[in-house]
Amino acid sequence: MSWQGHGHPNVPGIHTAAQVAGWRLVTDAVHARGGVIFLQLWHTGRVAHSSHQSDGSAPVGPSAIAAQGTTLDRDFKPVPYELPRALQTAEIPALVDTWRRAAANAMAAGFDGVEIHGANGYLLEQFLQTRSNHRSDRYGGCIVNRCRLHLEIADAVAAEVGADRTGIRLSPWGIANDSGEADPLPLYSHLVRELAARRLVYLHLIEPRASGTGKADIVREGQPSAAATFRPLWPGVLIDAGGFDRDGALQAVRDGHADAVAFGRFFISNPDLPRRIELGLPFTPYHRPTFYGGGAAGYTDYLALDPALDPAAETATAA
């Protein structure tokens, strides 16, 4: 979305003309197969690392509070989180505008819509939560203030590309990247109600049992269901995600807790995942050590159960 928001090795962007042109190849390929594709707009905030910045500057956050734990530098080496620079109030309007410009670039690249990433301990969630936000201006303190940045960005993006092309992702009970609110229900209830009034195309929730954000398979038992909790507050399309298998996904939709269920890790290891779900076929296990290796291994070398259903095989045959 911007160099400032860049926080991990080999992460693609949407802030240069070359990136827009590169993404057009992807969106054209998806549309040629009858697909729909949204781009997730993401700023890592305090969990970035200076090695990823074009000028080597420190990461930014709502307050000068370092996250606990480690991240990856540009050489894929684990390094401790750095002390972020607290964003000044005067910087916030330009920050909001980076989301608007990124959304405009996404449309130019042929995406069907965008998803605002407001979850998993990244910048927007850092503003939401008291463990990372100790501000005393209009973006800190009370719940209304801590939700302000989410809402300003939602308004800016929706004004640019339309509310019907703008989704948002939240993780109310998440603990990824040293996040977590002691009592998330009042905070996220206010935020979901405000977002619902804006009629965004969907709300994407992460279940609390899936809190590793790629670093580990963390299962937290006894946590409330995010989708079941916030479904009454959200009249539009609700997407649920996090630790689902086939039966759990089908049950969530049958129970009315979600309109759709998103898969991430299993979609990497199963290029024919929708077909497997449809036919009740087993999932190929994913191999976590290759998630962030930077190469094709563990990303594009998984095969479909039936080679005739493998998009990669079909493309190779057509070529």
Q: How far is CA 117 from the centre of its chain?
A: 4
Q: Which of 144, 142, 147, 138 is nearest to 168 (CA)?
A: 147
8 A C-beta contact, residue 145 and residue 139: yes
Q: Is 186 helix (H, G, I), strand (E, B) or coil?
A: helix
Quote the CA–CA distance of 298 and 296 in Å, as a whole number.
Answer: 6
Q: Which of 289, 286, 293, 266 is nearest to 277 (CA)?
A: 266
Q: Which residues pair with 260 in a beta bridge?
A: 239
Catalytic, 139? Answer no
Name the H helices within the chain. 17-32, 92-108, 123-128, 143-161, 184-197, 226-230, 246-254, 265-269, 273-279, 311-318
8 A C-beta contact, residue 291 and residue 283: no
Catalytic residue among 81, 122, 139, 188: 122
8 A C-beta contact, residue 8 and residue 72: yes
The three-state DSSP-derived secondary structure of 198-220 is CCCCEEEEECCCCCCCCCCCCCC
Please report the sign of the dihedral spanned by the C-alpha atoms of residue 292, residue 33, residue 26, residue 258. negative
Q: How far is CA 256 from the centre of its chain?
A: 23
Among all residues, which ones are annotated catalytic?
122
